[in-house]
Structure 1
């Protein structure tokens, strides 16, 4: 079974635009769980433009499904946040300071020493570690050498070319996924996955452990309703 983890960053963005607490990110997280989501993902950034660090502490107290914290470990503040809240999973993402969204995976070969040290620190606290990578078998194998439990495939290139030629677009992801399976790593995927392209990815890589979806899911919910939308995404993962 491939689990659906809902990224609620966009809920926090909407809340922050008015400076109050509407919508309430804790309520939305709990509603997502109630509607069938099997995990909650947050990606706090140093400028706290969406998820705030306090949100992470508050969510840890109420989330009962899998809690996944994404982020760039370049700042000690992020590392300390993860160690203090002890989520089920931390996903290490090399997003640049000020980036609108993540746009590339780790070079797990060049950054081997850094990643190995970080992964060891998190795993000492029994936190599962996933490394965000491009669909490159060498990067997947590099993550394994660093000690990561899983990789998360950066799926924006797949989504961008899906309607041009989905069979061609998915090939690098299948190859990377097969490498993950070969070396004994868990497999996640995320970025620009949607109701349009999710089912085909699942058909081609049925052994995915988890997909993390935020922007498209929250956008769909504006028209379809949050409960209905989550159920629709879950059906796309049923094979």
Structure 2
């Protein structure tokens, strides 16, 4: 019986087996097993069917033109390979498809294009799944920007002893944005510079002027007052 879906004539995803033939399969009757009417891989219009109806041997296939099936390889009792080919002359054939029978189950061998397409599709699916999983760990906040948030990170944070974190007045993302705004404002409104008058320092004054100022300050300083005598001591009265 056939298993699988025959929609779209895609025979790569189906298989066929007749359990009654499995114990007696051999290189002599494997083509008869393959030509069963319930086998979806078998073409009823092939030359094998004509030879079978006329009760001729398979050697007459070389003298015919059209589609035929041959036993390409046999590894008793487990593996048989059957080829479907287009015969154009006794010496010229064009392979169309290969079928392999493993333990009585018939499969169609995929062509190179199908193999490459399947491998590429599997690789793309894996890459897409990886990107989807990576995006699930991505977080964004206007004040913090982008960061990664993994599940195992939560477990590690729970295991760590809680400690008070010093709250920063602003994040790196905020400082970076503010710096960009300040630079933009500075470019739009450049600062205006005013000319400042120079003031001479005391060190720049001539030495004579400094000496004269020292003399004046010394003359204005009052003389020290003489020391005052303490008041006389009082004597106690005798009664």
Which structure has more strand as a fraction of its residues?
2
TM-score (norm 2): 0.23
Which structure has more helix as a fraction of its residues?
1
Q: Which structure would you say has the larger Rg?
A: 2
Higher relative contact order (CA 8 A, sep 6+): 1
